[in-house]
Amino acid sequence: MSTELRILVVPGALRERSLNRALARAAVREAPDGVAMALHELHGIPLYDGDVEAAGMPEPVAAWRAAIAGADALLFCTPEYNSSVPGVLKNAIDWASRGPDSPLGGKPAAIAGASPGRFGTVRSQTHLRQVLQFCGVEVMAKPELYHAQAAGLVGEDGEWRDPEALERLRTHLEAFAVWVRARG
Ligand SMILES: Cc1cc2nc3c(=O)[nH]c(=O)nc-3n(C[C@H](O)[C@H](O)[C@H](O)COP(=O)(O)O)c2cc1C
C-alpha cells in the first residue's frame, strides 16, 4: 500500500440523475487527507456471458478489473432494487470475481447507499455484503451509511448538498480510511 490510500468509488447505478452516482461523486470531493478517491462507473460492462469470457475479457471488463487491482480499497455506493443489489452492480461483481486472478480477493471495502424510501438501502447493503464476502472481499462492519429519503439531499444541480448528509459521509470516509490503514 502506498502512503496515499487509493480508494476506488463504485456507484451501482447508471442513470444521469442517480442519487448513488451523486453520492459517489461527493465521496470523491470529500476525500480525507492522504486519500485519493477515483470514480469508476459501470457503463459499458456487458451482461456476463461465459462464452464471451472464454473469448477474452471485453475491454470495459478488463478496465474494471484493472481499476480494482490498482486500488487499495473499494467503496460501493449502491441503490436498492426490489430489496436487493441492482443487476448492474451484481453483474459487474460477477465479472470481477472470475478466475484465479480475480482482483477482489482480500480487497477491503465499504458500502454506502441512498434511496428515496424509508429504509435507505439497508436490504440491498445486506445482500451486497454477502456477495462481496463470498468473493473474498473484506467488508468493513461499522460504521454503516444509509441515506433514507435521499431525494431531498441533492441540490437542483443533482449534486449531494445536504450539510448533515455530507458530514455523515465525511465521518464514514474517515472511519474507512482508518480501518483500511489498520489492516496494514
Ligand atoms: C426496479 C426497481 C426496484 C426498486 N426497488 C426498491 C426497493 O426495493 N427499495 C427502495 O428503497 N427503493 C427501490 N427502488 C427505488 C430506488 O431506490 C430509486 O429509484 C433510486 O433513486 C435508485 O437509485 P439511483 O437514484 O442511484 O438511481 C426501486 C427502483 C427500481 C427501478
Sequence-ordered list of residues with C-beta below 8 angstroms from that of 20, at least 6 positions apart, any chain: 11, 12, 13, 77, 78, 79, 113, 114
Q: Which CATH topology does 5-182 take?
A: Rossmann fold (3.40.50)
80 within ligand 1 shell (Cβ under 6 A): yes
pLDDT value at position 1?
52
Q: What is the pLDDT of residues 133-165, one digit of tens each?
A: 999 999 999 999 999 999 999 999 999 999 999
82 within ligand 1 shell (Cβ under 6 A): yes
- Which residue(s) pair with 77 in the sheet? 11, 112
Task: Round to the nearest angstrom and report the end-to-end CA distance of the chain.
Answer: 8
Q: What is the pLDDT of residues 163-173, one digit of tens each?
A: 999 999 999 99
Residues 57, 65: contact at Cβ < 8 Å? yes
16 within ligand 1 shell (Cβ under 6 A): no
Helix (H) or strand (E) holding 109: strand 108-114
pLDDT value at position 184?
78
**What nine digits make up the cell of 180?**
483500511
Residue of the CA atom closest to atom 20 of ligand 1: 115
116 within ligand 1 shell (Cβ under 6 A): yes
